[in-house]
Chains A and B, each alone.
Chain A
Amino acid sequence: MWVIYTLNGLYFAALLFLISLGLNIILGVMGILNLAHGSLYAIGAFIAAWVIIAIGMKVPPFFLYVTLLSGLVLAGIVGFLMEKSLIRFMYKRTLEYQLLLTFGVLMLLEDVIKMIWGGQAYYASAPFDLLGKVDIGGHVYPTYFLFVMAIALIAGLFIWLFMSKTKLGIMLRAISLDREMATGLGLDINRLSTFAFVLGSGLAGLAGALVVPTTPALLGFGHEPLILGFIVVVVGGLGSLKGALVGSLLVGFTRSFGIAIFPEIELPLLFLIAGIILVVKPEGLFGR
């Protein structure tokens, strides 16, 4: 069974990594904690489920997996609109206003989701069922979970290459290190901020889309992932990509083994571990 728990831990970690990566990019580049991040995740889940149901079995299987990208695209678009219309006025405001604005957006988006998709659950298990199961060391394991891990790994590598090798990525890192100096260097902060926000939102949407073949999308779908994302960010350190990775693995494994060993208190256990880490290392594992 340990093999399965480990794989489950990796699977949880993969999803959390996508969520917390998005949170962290936005936090690092813009200094804004987006409380509506979970809603973007939910939007990704709903649109992906809706598209998969709509096109059903009429398309070749490969195309079904491409449709998961709809989550990334729609969440990215919503993120774009959000940044352009609201977030952009918040950069110079204090923390209270930044947080409350995104809290307002959260409430707004929750009801917009309700208006569009109603209160019912959306099942879209086709991508999960199609992949079947594989045999790993004598245990059967859903191939789809491995697929999710692969996607997260690719996304992580992509972001890492992007941030360290491309000019755009290096400019984004410059802003997160010192916003004022970056302005002084003549970087177009507005454009770059929009870009970072869209990227972060898209990652949340992608995570939501990847989950929906395994769990039906419901109202309030984004609440728990958001909190887990926070824990990852707190444990890993604010704005640190390495922290997001290690934090995701830690939270993922704690969840997976917690569910197996102490099913009732896996969530409190998680908080307890996060609390201990913070008492020992207040700035998080990789915090600055």
Chain B
Amino acid sequence: MGLKQISKNPRWIIYLLIFIALLFIPRMLSIHDLMLFEYGITFAIVGLGFNLLLGYTGLLSFGHGAYFAAGAYSVAMIAKYLPQAYSLEILIPASLFFSLILSIIFGFVCVRHTKIFFSILALSLSMLLFALLFKLYHITGGSDGLRVPLPTLFGMSFKGIRRPEFLSGTYYYFLLGVFSISFLVMRGIVSSPFGKALQAIRDNEVRAELIGIRVRRYRLYAFMISGMFVGLGGALWTFVNGHVTADLSHWVFSGEIVYMTLLGGFGIFEGPIIGAMIFTYLKLYAMGNTQYWMFVIGATLIVLVLILPNGVAGAVSSLWTKVKKKTN
């Protein structure tokens, strides 16, 4: 899209304004809030990837924690076994690569099915990874997990810097850059001919096959791209969190990914990003205020399913349409 078209389309102006605002976030938030915000951004990338499968291809995976874990453990394992390669410009491609490999293997089995069978299969396979990460503790650290030190970036070393300083400086802008690129790439994917083919599969798989789309193969492509985005999110998350455990591949964590996507609204491109941000704050708020935080977010989810099925973004957009109709 050329500059001329960008200036004509209000959507892109809003994106640009938000991006500019995001540049100043580290100056506005305390380090604690900034860290939370960074958790949110990593989950926003996860949400973008997850929604390619759920919102655009019509497949509900209850096992995407596995690809998150694949990205996260790529980082942690390189830190442990290949410390000389421990720099962001290697770690990011490596985590993309390993989450891609895992999503090819698991995806190959899963895409032979749809609907509920797909969901259970994706869930079961992620638990396979969980079982491996959990049991092979002398390699993976088991339930204690692995520690993730600060990486280098293009030769820049962050030795002697504390994690909060790292997170509020270079890393924030790195994260913002990766997020922006992910956003643009995913935006391109969903509006491209390929993205339209996925939506055609979602809407009517029989007809999609009959207009010459190889349905299973395209589902696998979607699965792979989705797995890579989620893996990327997982890798970026580790530096914020500083620590990885096998629980990342547990299906309850996958459930949280589904939760945030629905919270934002999976029918809208930006929905999962909004959902990731809200969920991060909601969970932390609940955890900080009661020991029964699961009760709070569980009850919130039930209410959401019952009264706000299109998520926050969906509710806002339908409200917007109503307002527009009235003013016209």
Interface residues of A (CB under 8 A from B): 27, 31, 33, 35, 86, 89, 93, 95-97, 99-101, 103-112, 114-115, 223, 227, 230-231, 233-234, 238, 264-265, 267-268, 271-272, 274-275, 278-279, 282-283
B132 touches A268 (CB 8 A): yes
Contact A105:B127 (CB < 8 A) given known A96-B54, A114-B292, A268-B132: no
Contact A275:B109 (CB < 8 A) given known A100-B262, A105-B298, A108-B299: yes
Having A35-B255, A93-B305, A111-B293, one finds 8 other A-B pairs with CB under 8 Å, namely A31-B116, A86-B302, A99-B62, A106-B298, A111-B295, A227-B127, A268-B128, A279-B109
B119 touches A95 (CB 8 A): yes
Contact A278:B266 (CB < 8 A) given known A108-B298, A267-B135: no
Q: With A and B bound together, what is the CA distance between A96 and B292 in angstroms?
A: 25
| Residue B67 CB within 8 A of the other chain | no
B62 touches A111 (CB 8 A): no
Interface size on B, residues (CB 8 A): 44
B292 touches A97 (CB 8 A): no
Residues of B288-317 whose CB lies within 8 A of A: 291-295, 297-302, 304-306, 309
The prevalent SS among residues of A at the interface is helix
Minimum Cβ distance to chain A for residue B302 (Å): 4
Contact A115:B292 (CB < 8 A) given known A100-B258, A268-B128: yes
Q: With A and B bound together, what is the CA distance between A223 and B255 in angstroms?
A: 13
Contact A268:B298 (CB < 8 A) given known A35-B255, A95-B60, A230-B120: no
B135 touches A265 (CB 8 A): yes
| Residue B131 CB within 8 A of the other chain | yes
A100 CB contacts on chain B under 8 angstroms: 255, 258-259, 262, 301, 304-305
A99 touches B306 (CB 8 A): no
Contact A107:B298 (CB < 8 A) given known A271-B125, A271-B127: yes
B306 CB contacts on chain A under 8 angstroms: 86, 89, 101
User: Across the two chains, which residue of chain A brings its CB closest to B302?
Assistant: A104
B60 touches A268 (CB 8 A): no
Q: With A and B bound together, what is the CA distance between A112 and B295 in angstroms?
A: 7
A227 touches B124 (CB 8 A): yes
Q: With A and B bound together, what is the CA distance between A283 and B109 in angstroms?
A: 12
Which 6 residue pairs are nearest across A and B when measured between Cβ atoms?
A107-B298, A104-B301, A271-B128, A111-B295, A108-B298, A267-B131
B135 touches A264 (CB 8 A): yes
User: Across the two chains, which residue of chain A brings its CB closest to B106?
Assistant: A275
Contact A278:B109 (CB < 8 A) given known A114-B292, A264-B135: yes
Q: With A and B bound together, what is the CA distance between A278 and B220 in angstroms?
A: 17
Q: With A and B bound together, what is the CA distance between A265 and B132 in angstroms?
A: 7
User: Across the two chains, which residue of chain B brings its CB closest to A27?
Assistant: B116
Q: With A and B bound together, what is the CA distance between A112 and B120 in angstroms?
A: 26
A264 touches B294 (CB 8 A): no
- The one of B112, B134, B305 that contacts A97, using a Cβ cutoff of 8 Å: B305
B301 CB contacts on chain A under 8 angstroms: 100-101, 103-104, 107
Residues of B100-147 whose CB lies within 8 A of A: 109, 112-113, 115-117, 119-121, 123-125, 127-128, 131-132, 134-136
User: Across the two chains, which residue of chain B brings its CB closest to A279?
Assistant: B109
Contact A107:B262 (CB < 8 A) given known A97-B309, A265-B135, A271-B125: no
Minimum Cβ distance to chain A for residue B164 (Å): 31
Minimum Cβ distance to chain B for residue A164 (Å): 25
A107 touches B116 (CB 8 A): no
A238 touches B117 (CB 8 A): yes
A108 touches B295 (CB 8 A): yes
Q: With A and B bound together, what is the CA distance between A230 and B63 in angstroms?
A: 13
B131 touches A271 (CB 8 A): yes
